[in-house]
Structure 1
Amino acid sequence: MDKALICGSFAFDNIMVFNDQFKNHILPDKVHILNVSFLVPELRREFGGCAGNIAYNLKLLGGNPLPMGAVGTDFEHYAKWMDEKGINREHVNVVDDTFTAQAFITTDMDDNQITAFHPGAMNYSHNYSVLDVSDPAVGIVAPDGREGMIQHAREFVSAGIPFIFDPGQGLPMFDGDELMKFIEQATWLTVNDYEWQLIQERTGKSQEEISAKLKALIVTKGPEGSLIYKDGEVIQIPAAKPSVLQDPTGCGDAYRAGLLYGLTNDLDWETTGRIASLMGAIKIEHQGTQNHHFKLADFKRRFKEAFGTVF
């Protein structure tokens, strides 16, 4: 089965709920001497990171994910989870004397959030090379350490491996010229509609100018579905309807796994986009980024129910 090399981050997401409102404890006229403490009786620690999430979702579909990333010495529990799910860890590299990247997210009753992010081992992703991987069919450069993203894109080109550029939350790290370099190197670009607007503003390029440099540009629009720009045409992908709206975190990674599945199985873009759309819908029905499960036969049944076709 064709391998998909997934370059990106691994992280722990520590999610805490404060059963009150931040505004009741942060005095505007005292922010210059801010010293607050929040009691958070609810705490979840989730496996996350773009490479981890994409690999998990692609494995659910029966794909062959090969994630590459840098992790810390605290990764053992996550590693055990990956082994249980049959996800290859050959290129998941432990960096001595570091922690795995992690986010600490506190949410209040108004859905306001205070987040601290520690990149940890992610900053060492450039120490590991795409060229050390044998024969991946396709790749993806997902959010990761800045130097790692630059290097891995360059190495995909050097190795002649087609790849998706997925800037995601890493987009603010790059200026317009750097983003254009990624786009010129990439085979496909995938972004949400907000990221797409930022890219156009930062590069000064239009949709037509950017699409001309790619085999396909994929723009997701949440409940409005997604658009795939290819060869001068626009393919409209409808959104699959989730049974319940639980947690949108990680939906983009699930969608990208669907894209990789379609690319590694030589599916047309209409089918690939719909698989990606359904992956996002299934993810949003569950808390966390790697807590959903399904059998491929059930996925195909739900695909037919959602779109009236089969794959």
Structure 2
Amino acid sequence: MTANPEPVIFGEVLFDCFEDRSVLGGAPFNVAWNLKGLGREPLFIGAVGEDELGAQVQQALSAWGMRPEGLQVDPDHPTGQVQVRLSGGEPQYEILADQAYDHVDVTRALEGLPRGGILYHGSLALRELAARHGLETLRDHMGARVFMDVNLRAPWWEREVVHDLMRRATWVKLNQDELSALAPEPADDPEVQARLTLACFDLEAIIVTRASEGAMVLTRDGAVHAMHAPKVEGLKDTVGAGDAFSAVTLLGLLEGWPWDVILHRAAGFAARVCTLHGATTEDAGFYALAHDAWNSPSGEKARG
């Protein structure tokens, strides 16, 4: 493990409400949960309401052993909820407005934060101007490198706002549809789209997930890493697969893995998450299987 400070994860925690159940989630919270399961100690900064769902979040965070100091309780706004409907295994989201995660008081979280390191954020929790100002305060205080995980959820995004966030990032991860929506110029070839975006926003790397087509990483030095999607045995749903991919990518950046190793391990872990109902699990063994394989003395350590 490298000497990098533990990552700071900023953004939404919410409940994905399916027809038959509610599952704790939110892309940043999922990333923090996965990182904890994989052996890191991330600090999640977000907010819940002073309600039953908020109490459930606090209980889950404590039971999983995550650091509690970044989770705020907002008495004026409800814990976030998203209505999820599955169509052919693919999730469709109805995201509610004015949730607790829109109102994080970043100034309460500054004391004791690491300097440098990596700051992760998505885009959904930055739909309000005040939240974007909060992120700017957090970013400036830490002086951290920024991993931006794009999550475009209509109608909660504007192209110019997302572009501004990308300009301040070190690495940007997004899916193929998001790349097409955000690329500075139209192009038929996804690699061309990615290269144009990488250059336009002066990124160190751009990470593109492409569903069944796999994933690719383009870096500032001109390298391209790509792989086909691994086969999923026992598919349940794809909720949280992108968050799982992001968590392992972030882990790889923290621990200094080469990009081809990051890509291989992130894709493999995301495929395993597709065998879950929802984005995460409380089964520590699920994470230990990946963690132990990656740290074994065999060839798995080198490749994933």
> Does TM-score exceed 0.5, indicating one fold?
yes
- Gapped regions of structure 1 (runs ≥ 5): 17-42
**Alignment-derived partner of residue 299 in structure 1:** 290
Distance 1:80 1:192, change over 3 A: same
Distance 1:256 1:210, change over 3 A: same
5 Å-filtered alignment, 1:119-268, equals: 119-125=98-104, 127-129=105-107, 131-135=110-114, 137-142=117-122, 143-146=124-127, 147=129, 148-149=131-132, 151-153=134-136, 155-157=138-140, 159-170=142-153, 173-200=156-183, 206-212=193-199, 213-230=202-219, 231-268=221-258
5 Å-filtered alignment, 1:65-76, equals: 65-74=42-51, 75-76=54-55
For residues 82 and 243 of structure 1, the distance between their equivalents in structure 2, rounded to whole angstroms, comes to 29
Deviation at 1:165, TM superposition (A): 1.2
Deviation at 1:45, TM superposition (A): 1.4
For residues 245 and 152 of structure 1, the distance between their equivalents in structure 2, rounded to whole angstroms, comes to 36
- Gapped regions of structure 2 (runs ≥ 5): none
| SS of alignment partner, residue 272 of structure 2 | helix
Deviation at 1:209, TM superposition (A): 3.7
- The answer to whether the Cα contact below 8 Å between 2:211 and 2:229 also exists between their aligned partners in 1 is yes
Q: 1:203-261: CA deviations, max 9, x gaps?
A: 99953343130110000012222110002121113433332211101111111111111
- The answer to whether the Cα contact below 8 Å between 1:191 and 1:220 also exists between their aligned partners in 2 is yes
Report how many aligned residue pairs link the two structures: 283
Distance 1:47 1:309, change over 3 A: same
Please tell me whether residue 51 in structure 1 is matched to residue 28 in structure 2: yes
Distance 1:108 1:199, change over 3 A: closer
Distance 1:215 1:76, change over 3 A: same
Q: 1:70-104: CA deviations, max 9, x gaps?
A: 21112111211111111112111110132101023
- 2:289 maps to a residue whose letter is D
- The answer to whether the Cα contact below 8 Å between 2:173 and 2:207 also exists between their aligned partners in 1 is yes
The alignment yields a C-alpha RMSD, in angstroms, of: 3.2
TM-score by length of 1: 0.79
TM-score by length of 2: 0.81
Distance 1:54 1:113, change over 3 A: closer
For residues 110 and 155 of structure 2, the distance between their equivalents in structure 1, rounded to whole angstroms, comes to 27
Distance 1:175 1:258, change over 3 A: same
Please tell me whether residue 98 in structure 1 is matched to residue 89 in structure 2: no
Larger radius of gyration: 1
Identity of aligned residues (%): 24
